[in-house]
Structure 1
Amino acid sequence: MRRVIAIALTGASLAGCSSLSLDSFKPAPPLVKVALESAPPGADATTSLGPACKTPCSIDVPAPDAGFSVTFAGPKFQPVTIPVQVIRNPGDFASPPTTIIEPSPVFAELRPAAPPPKARKPMRPKKPKPPKAAAAPNPAPAQPAAR
């Protein structure tokens, strides 16, 4: 009787595992080493896949089916994004499959950020000039009065 109960409990517990799929048996994508360099060195390099480091460096990323990008950024420099292609060669009976990263190494030249615009002093309104007095015509020289 104990066997029947144990088998029934095992069957009930397996029935609850409906999320079991063949995807869990697929191998993880192979890791590919990506070399990252920049001019000037010391930039923060971040991949669209997640991993990041300070240049010059190399990181391991899972080889995606499509390409990815690497963004280089640094203080006082404009960020630069470089697209990276993943080329897969399936191989055959004589050679193993290979994955190639293009470009290799991934290189970015950072340009200095434009200086911030200079703060202009606010313009003061000009003081109005006092109105000029209307010029009176020159009086004619006074003639002696006739007596």
Structure 2
Amino acid sequence: MRRVIAIAAAGLSLAGCSSFSTDYFKSAPPTLQVQIESNPPGADARTSLGQNCKTPCSVTLPVPDSGGFTVSYTMPRFQPATVPVQVIRIPGEFFSAGTTKTDPNPVVAELQPAGPLPKAAHKMMRPKKPKVPKGAAGAPPADGSAFPDPAQGSAPPPPPPPR
């Protein structure tokens, strides 16, 4: 009978080992909590890691493998803006875990108003040339003055009409 109990106990202990996994010892992937704001508020913000929200908001991001990410802001009647964010890893010591922080946090963008919308282009028309009366001696001077320049040696003025 002792043999049966020993075999049952060994079987139960081996069954427990077959479902044993080292995943229990792994911690969840590290995440960052980032506050996102804009001036004026209400902009659509999208991170290069895929999360998006409407400002002001807070997002939880996985810690990127590379050095950082960007936050892009869009809002109607405002120019889009992009803010780079650096991820700073501070290694832990033997008894303390490492930390990760972002610079800047909160991530803030100042959105600039877009210029006025362009109006429909109008076809440029040439101004009409003034008609020259048939009895005129010649074309008006190029400078637009009504009288000829006396320094240019123009013809003398016509004599007064007879009485």
Q: Under TM normalisation by the shorter chain, which class is it?
A: 0.5 to 0.7
**Cα distance, 1:134 vs. partner?**
4.1
Q: 1:67-78, aligned counterparts within 5 Å? A: 67-78=68-79
What code does the residue aligned with 1:67 have?
A: G
Measured in 1, the distance between the counterparts of 2:105 and 2:136 equals 85
Residue 46 (structure 2) pairs with residue 46 (structure 1): yes
Q: 1:41-120, aligned counterparts within 5 Å? A: 41-65=41-65, 66-120=67-121
Cα distance 1:131–1:59, how it changes in 2: closer, same or farther (>3 A)?
Answer: same
Measured in 1, the distance between the counterparts of 2:88 and 2:136 equals 90
Measured in 2, the distance between the counterparts of 1:47 and 1:112 equals 22
Residue correspondences, number? 115
What code does the residue aligned with 2:89 have?
A: R
Deviation beyond 2 Å, 4+ runs, structure 1:
26-29, 117-132, 134-138
C-alpha contact 1:29 1:64 (8 A) present in aligned 2: no
Identity level (%): 56
What code does the residue aligned with 2:43 have?
A: A
SS at match of 2:133: coil
SS at match of 2:85: strand
Structure 1, unaligned runs of 5 or more: 1-25, 142-147
- Which TM-score applies when normalising by structure 1? 0.67
What code does the residue aligned with 2:104 have?
A: P
Measured in 2, the distance between the counterparts of 1:75 and 1:108 equals 15
Measured in 1, the distance between the counterparts of 2:70 and 2:27 equals 24
Measured in 1, the distance between the counterparts of 2:28 and 2:94 equals 22
**Cα distance, 1:29 vs. partner?**
3.6
- Which TM-score applies when normalising by structure 2? 0.61
Measured in 1, the distance between the counterparts of 2:132 and 2:35 equals 76
Cα distance 1:94–1:28, how it changes in 2: closer, same or farther (>3 A)?
Answer: closer
**Cα distance, 1:112 vs. partner?**
0.5
Structure 2, unaligned runs of 5 or more: 1-25, 138-157
Which residue of structure 1 aligns with residue 34 of structure 2? 34
Aligned alpha-carbon RMSD (Å): 2.5
Cα distance 1:28–1:95, how it changes in 2: closer, same or farther (>3 A)?
Answer: closer
**Cα distance, 1:133 vs. partner?**
1.5
